[in-house]
């Protein structure tokens, strides 16, 4: 496969609402059927990355247009009645742009919070699932291995991963100053987003044990609860869930307040003024800013956390630029590898052709000397290249790309004795085999 055969079709947090992504989310149980449908309709190899922030198909296809149509149609089918208003959320990339996107996603450059580590693990999981059902071949495997190399390079050689860790550390320090030990508190995660799961993971690493997850529907919430090892509720249950929550992590980003000041005021009353730490990491925010005015409520958002963590924006910008430079470096390596693999069949065909011509000459002159066989072989093999060079010379004049390619392939020297340089081509015809 050439690099032009790669395809990405999907929906992400940059193009869609979280409600839409919840609707088209691919559960593990249905993944084999989705992969089979994509392969039946146009993909030769394919994997499905379905997370809180994206539902994307990474694949390879001889008929790229057919694969793009297959991916788009499947997403539209999952959108159902909302397809007319939501189909613009679907993006399609092919060739080098598709490969570059996969590298960037693996390196978390396309994440809501750039530098978070969770997405790489999710991609590896999606890759393994596709391998298990036989949906990944050599071409897609090469793409994914290059993507993992790019992600490792970026995380190792840039400061891109420092931001999320610093923000999580700042949030944990602020919560710890309020509650002391985090082992005895209960948390409520609102919304299925990567940044929310990132924060939960960091809090669990320092002792958080009890966690409830709220999502738009019961099945999605239950799936998230299994990931974090907690309980599940829906968005409608948030007012009651707030009563038992010491830590509230808002990560839905639906464009409306999931926790209003009045909602939290009633919860505080039921909690008998036990404090609540509200960590709003959603974009746009989940928490009503008036919550900051409530006694016993402590509101922190992403801007506050960045200030606390003293993240240097100039340093982050420089890290981003370096990260994208590394993405392009790995893309160039990948393109070169694809081009080199494309040449392998040509070399095999040339070898088979040369051997066939040799065998034909031997058969036609079984008693000829080695010198005679060599002369006939050279003349026969030069016949078609000579014709092509003459035709190219007529069409291109002195700027003969085919002649230059021939010089390069066979390391020919021009009149100055330099290899692979522009120069006049000797168009003297090869001598006849019958001479």
* Residues that are catalytic: 52
Which pair of structure tokens corresponds to residue 195?
């940044």
Q: Map 402-429 to HEC letters.
A: HHHHHHHHHCCECCCCCECCCCCCCCCC
What residue spans of 180-230 are helical by DSSP H? 194-205, 218-228
Q: How far is CA 96 from the centre of its chain?
A: 12
CB 325 within 8 A of CB 150: no
How many CB atoms sit inside 10 A of residue 281's CB?
26
**Angstrom distance (rounded) from CA 137 to CA 39:** 12
Give the helix/strand (H/E) hosting 147: helix 138-157
CB 57 within 8 A of CB 38: yes
Which pair of structure tokens corresponds to residue 428?
């003297």
Q: Which residue has the tokens 């598709």?
A: 98
**Angstrom distance (rounded) from CA 158 to CA 148:** 15
**Angstrom distance (rounded) from CA 235 to CA 342:** 52
What is the secondary structure of 51-88 as a DSSP string? Answer: -SSEEEEEEE-SSHHHHHHHHHHHHHHHHGGGHHHHGG
């Amino acid at each position: 496969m050439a690099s032009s055969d790669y395809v990405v079709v999907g929906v992400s947090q940059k193009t869609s609402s979280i409600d839409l992504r919840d609707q088209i989310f691919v559960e593990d149980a249905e993944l084999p059927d989705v992969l089979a449908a994509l392969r039946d309709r146009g993909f030769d190899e394919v994997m499905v990355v379905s997370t809180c922030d994206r539902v994307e198909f990474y694949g390879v296809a001889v008929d790229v247009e057919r694969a793009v149509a297959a991916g788009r149609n499947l997403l539209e089918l999952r959108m159902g009645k909302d397809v007319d208003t939501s189909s613009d959320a679907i993006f399609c990339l092919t060739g080098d742009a598709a490969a570059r996107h996969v590298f960037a996603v693996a390196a978390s450059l396309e994440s809501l919070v750039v530098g978070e580590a969770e997405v790489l693990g999710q991609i590896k999981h999606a890759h393994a699932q596709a391998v298990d059902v036989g949906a990944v071949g050599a071409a897609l495997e090469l793409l994914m291995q290059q993507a993992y190399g790019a992600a490792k390079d970026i995380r190792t050689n840039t400061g891109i991963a420092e931001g999320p860790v610093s923000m999580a550390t700042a949030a944990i320090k602020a919560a710890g100053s309020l509650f002391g030990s985090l082992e005895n508190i209960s948390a409520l995660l609102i919304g299925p987003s990567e940044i929310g799961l990132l924060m939960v993971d960091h809090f669990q690493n320092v002792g958080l044990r009890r966690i409830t997850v709220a999502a738009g529907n019961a099945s999605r919430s239950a799936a998230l609860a299994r990931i974090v090892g907690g309980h599940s509720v829906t968005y409608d249950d948030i007012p009651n869930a707030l009563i038992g929550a010491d830590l509230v992590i808002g990560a839905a980003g639906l464009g409306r307040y999931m926790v209003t000041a009045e909602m939290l005021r009633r919860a505080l009353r039921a909690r008998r003024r036990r404090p609540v730490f509200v960590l709003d990491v959603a974009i746009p925010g989940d928490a009503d800013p008036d919550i900051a005015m409530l006694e016993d409520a402590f509101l922190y958002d992403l801007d506050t956390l960045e200030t606390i963590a003293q993240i240097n924006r100039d340093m982050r910008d420089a890290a981003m630029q370096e990260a994208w430079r590394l993405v392009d470096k790995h893309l160039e390596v990948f393109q070169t590898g694809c081009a080199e693999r494309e040449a392998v069949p040509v070399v095999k065909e040339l070898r088979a052709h040369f051997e066939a011509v040799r065998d034909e000459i031997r058969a036609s002159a079984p008693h000829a000397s080695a010198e005679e066989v060599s002369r006939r072989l050279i003349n026969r093999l030069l016949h078609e290249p000579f014709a092509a060079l003459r035709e190219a010379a007529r069409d291109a004049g002195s700027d003969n790309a085919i002649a230059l390619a021939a010089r390069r392939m066979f390391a020919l020297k021009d009149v100055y004795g330099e290899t692979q340089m522009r120069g006049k081509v000797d168009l003297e015809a090869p001598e006849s085999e019958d001479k």
